[in-house]
Structures are given as C-alpha cells and as structure tokens.
Chains A and B, each alone.
Chain A
Amino acid sequence: MKNVIAFTVTTAFAVSALAQDKPAAQPAPSWQQGKPAAQAESTLHPFAPHMTGRAAKELPVNKLKVPAGFKVEVWADGIPEARSLALGDKGTVFVSNRNAKNVYAVVNANGKREVKTILKGLDAPNGIVFSKGTLYVAERGRITRYDGIESKLEQPGEGKVVVDNLDPNRQAGHFWKFLAMGPDGKLYFNIGAPGNIVMPSYMEASIMRVDPDKGVLETVAMGVRNSVGMDWNPKTKELWFTNHGRDWLGNDLPNDTLHRVAAKSAVPNFGYPFCHQGDVQDPDFGKNRSCAEFAKPALKLGAHIAPLGMRFYTGKMFPAEYQNNIFIAMHGSWNRETKQGYNVMRVKLDEKGNPKMQPFVEGFLTDEKADPPMWGRPVDLLVMKDGSMLFSDDYNGIIYRVSYGK
C-alpha cells in the first residue's frame, strides 16, 4: 500500500514538473486567452488608459478632422477614463468610467463648465443612462437607480438596486456593462462573454433587459460576445447594437459587427462562440456547427476595430442628410499588426435600410505600426439638445464636441 502511495506521489510530481516545462500549460492573462501557439511570439497587447488623465493642451487636438462645415473642439478635459455619456433634463452631462470607481457630472456653473465627482466606490460603473429624472448605473454585477439626481448632485445618496447578481462568477473577461433605456421603458444592457473565446454560462454573451419597476430580467439577444453600444432606430424602433468579435484569429478576421434586432422577432442568436461575423466558423467551437443556424450582422465594421458607443442622430444642427444616421465610436484595434479605428464613423441607411459607412471624426491614429499607434480613443457619443454631438475619449479623459454651422 505504501508503495502505491509513493508511486502516485512520484507520478504526480513528475507530471507537474513536466507541465512546468511547457509554457502553454501556464494560465495566460484573460486578453491572451485563446492565443494560438502559432502566435506565441506576438507582442500585440491591449492599451491601458492614462488613469490620471492628460490635459488637452499637451495633445495634438488640432489634428482632428471632420467633414467640411463641421467643427470639432475640446468640450472638457480632466475627466479621467471618460467612458459612457448620459444627458440629464437640466443639462447635466453624466460621465462613467470602467477601471476607476466614480461617476462624474459636468455642470454649467456661472458660464463655467465644472466637473463634479458625484458617485464613488462603485464596481466598474461603465453603464449609465438618464431617464425621467433618474440616473441608472450599471456596475459589474448590478444596476442601481438614483432618483431625482439632478437636484441633489452634491449628495445623491445610496443607489436603489434595480437588479443584482448579474456577475455571479466574477468573470475575468468582459465584466463591464453598457446601459441604455429602450422605447418600451426597459433598461437594456450587455452581459459579456467571460473571456476571449470560451463557452459562456447561461446568462453570458447576451443582451438582456429589465423593467426598472419590476426587476424582472428578459433575454433580448444571445451569442453576442460583447456589446458596448446600443440604440433604437427612431423610425422603426428596432434595437441596433455594436459587437466585438474574438481576438487571435489573425489580422483580418473576424470583423466586429453592427447588429439589428428585428421588431417582434424571437430572441436571435448571433453565433458566439460557434460562429463569428455571421459567416466564419470558430476553429474550435465551430466544429460540427454551421453558421446557417445563426442570425447575421447588419454590417461588418472591420477586424478588431472595437466599436463602442453608437447613436442614431436625431438632432437639428447637422444637415438633413445626417438625420437618423448612426454614429459609431471606434475605440481602435490592438489585436492586429496594422492598427485601425480610433475614429468616429458615420453609417447611413439607404431606403431599404442597408447600411453604408464613412469616416466622420479622424486624426487620433498617428502611426498604424507604432506602439501605441494613437493619442486618443473614442468611446461613447451623446447628441446634445442643440444638436451638437459630444464624444468621450477614455485614453486621455477628454470630451470633445462636434458642431455644424458658421
């Protein structure tokens, strides 16, 4: 008996010693998950934001380009890791972040723009939306509400929980959430895939919605790796959203995508982790599956380009042809040799609803081969009451304003 134990111990020891000799057996950082052996030497890596922010005056903001007749300028800086944007009824611009724990409010005090930290100590509060006097905040694992927020910015108090336990496994992957208010009065948000390319749990890799008064969850879409931007077509009231494709499948595959959820359709499944961009089977999870069973994206946006915020333009300032166009903030690629994105794109739908894309704000990308290749990264968009458009840049903690006119 003793011999058996001794043998087992020796074998286990030998196996673990052997495992240590193989680098592949080590746990990789979550962003390296799914990196194939063939790309083991790749030095591609994600870019971290300047967590203390950078002043606009030390950056080449005059290099930003917009179409003729438009103007782009710095609206506010000093808002570290500025991510999602929301507009209050009284004109407060709320700003979220992902790696920090705060929510900021930008208010106008005697003609001066002032940045206040209104919420602290939150857990990855990336998602914010304002509706009927209430600010809703989506943290990593819950959604809370702050009623009457604009009249008590100094002391908003504790948030009331709308829904909890959204991240029971404390997943390592896409734990931050985007939050939007649907025309049906329900809060829509993503639950991202728990890694680059892994089998999601039942609630993950989805878009969900919750009635803020009842707290009951419903599934809106499945097979969505990670969506960090959504809005509703003002004409058809259909939900559109952006989605990030998997990494480490080469420079040009798969595309990140723009999706439409047809009104009154059954819950669509967009394919993750089996099928990407509607027509590329995953080399591992896609075996023995077919892309034919999954819903297709409305538009392929470019590989690894990282589409974040998207909004339909319904303001009155831009020319008529911009009415109901979709604007998408491209955070920019890290998982390809030649970088792309780092801009705001404009998507126009033709009469049949087919999308066509063209650049709107460019100039953040300085050298597509450099590391880092850019000096700023667009995250979210917000159409203001005057029809101008704000967009955030989490790399520097800056918000820009695009306007049209003399």
Chain B
Amino acid sequence: MSFTKLVKANATALTVAFVLLGTASPARAADAEAGKQKAAVCAACHGEGGNSTNPAVPSIAQQPAQFVSTALFMFREGNRKDPQMSPMAANLSNEDMNDLAAFFSAQKAAPPGHKSNPENAKTGPELAQKFNCTQCHGRGLLGQQHIPRLAGQQFEYLRTQLRGFKAMTRADIDGNMTSAARALSEKDIEVLSDFIAGASAQ
C-alpha cells in the first residue's frame, strides 16, 4: 500500500490507521540488564562496575545516565576523540548506548582512592564556585542530566580533560566547558583536579 493511499485510508478508517501505527518498529526501552552484558568489555579499562583504578581512565559508575549516553554519542559522532574510546563507540547503536547508560548509572561509585593535598582541599571549593563548576555540575559536583559527576573522579583524567578544554582539543556538546576552562591557569587546573579527585562521590 502506498503511503498516499495509506493516508487516505487513515482519514476514512482511523481505527485501522491506529493498528498500523502500532506496527511501526518502536524504539526499545533502555535495559540495564542488557547493558550489563554489553559492559563486559568496558571493565578492562574502566574497572569492575565502572569504578576505575587507573588514574588516567575515568570512573563511569554512578554517572548520570544521560551523561553516559551523550559521551558515547559524541565519541561515535567524532565530536570527542580518543584513541581507545573512539573505536569502542564507533559501532554502538543508540540502543546500546542507552543500555550502557542505564547499567553504569545504576552502579555505586567507590570511595575515591585519591587523597587531596590539604591546602587544595581547603581552597578547592572556592575555586570550583569561582570558575562556575558548581553552576552546572551542582554544589557537590555530583553531576546532573547530561553533565558528569566530577567528585571522586580520577585525578589524571580530570587534569587532562581540563587542559584539553583549555587548549580547545576536547569538545563538549554545548561549548560550555571550552568557555569555562579558558579562564583557568595551569595552577588552577592542578588545584581543582587534586581537590575534586579526593571529594566524596556520594
């Protein structure tokens, strides 16, 4: 049946049209259980349940689901590039990304292994406010919606990302981080990364 004919049929026989509407292949709901299976390969770098023990690799446990799916989307689409992650994301479907997001957002973040320098732990919160970190990442830097949890994140990873944003070699979806990082000095980056890496992830 051609679409035009179908449309005409819809106008005269709505009930039939609704049955046909039901036969469209709808998107599948995000599935954390399916995500667990798909996440097996992630553990090699990101750690068990997404809790990384490698200072250069981010923890993705208990990240907001929308952040996880958005990050994977950006790797696949090439907005964000990484020698390890770009090929990992290249063949993931949107459904895969939603499943992985559902799984990792449901994992509990481990207490941070990093111990902040006491001086940085003291000045860090002020800096985080001054440079608008808390504006989007929230007061406790726990993230929300498409914005990642930073608290308790790996030190080296945080520092590399902030340097990347400042150098404009790392992109985010709306340019907010590029803009925010422009104001940071190397010292600020050092202090912020050290403070944030030791902050409670809960």
Contact = CB atoms under 8 A, between A and B. Distances in A.
Interface of A: 20, 23, 26-32, 43, 45-48, 50-58, 73-78, 80, 90-92, 99-101, 107-108, 110-114, 172, 317, 371-372, 384-388, 397, 401, 403, 405-406
Interface of B: 1-4, 6-8, 10-11, 14, 18, 20-21, 23-30, 66, 69-70, 72-74, 77, 94-95, 97-98, 101, 130-132, 135-136, 144-146, 173-176, 179-180, 182-183, 185
B192 to A, nearest CB: 14
Contact of B23 (A46, A100, A111, A403): A111
Contacts of A77: 26-27
B179 A403 contact: no
B21 A386 contact: no
B97 to A, nearest CB: 4
A43 B135 contact: yes
A50 B21 contact: no
A73 B98 contact: no
Contacts of A46: 174
A75 B26 CA distance: 9
A43 B3 CA distance: 47
Contacts of B175: 29-30, 172
Contacts of B145: 47-48, 371-372
B26 A57 contact: yes
B30 A58 contact: yes
B73 to A, nearest CB: 4
B71 to A, nearest CB: 10
Contacts of B136: 45
Contacts of A90: 3-4
B182 A27 contact: yes
A59 B10 CA distance: 26
B183 to A, nearest CB: 4
Contact of B7 (A31, A56, A91, A406): A91
A112 B19 CA distance: 11
Contact of A55 (B27, B74, B97, B146): B27
B116 to A, nearest CB: 22
A28 B14 contact: no
A349 B8 CA distance: 30
Contact of A78 (B21, B69, B72, B94): B94
Given A112-B24, A317-B11, A52 B98 contact: yes
Given A52-B69, A403-B14, 20 more contacts: A30-B175, A30-B179, A32-B135, A45-B136, A48-B70, A48-B174, A51-B173, A52-B97, A53-B98, A73-B21, A80-B94, A99-B173, A108-B1, A108-B6, A111-B20, A113-B25, A114-B24, A114-B25, A386-B7, A386-B11
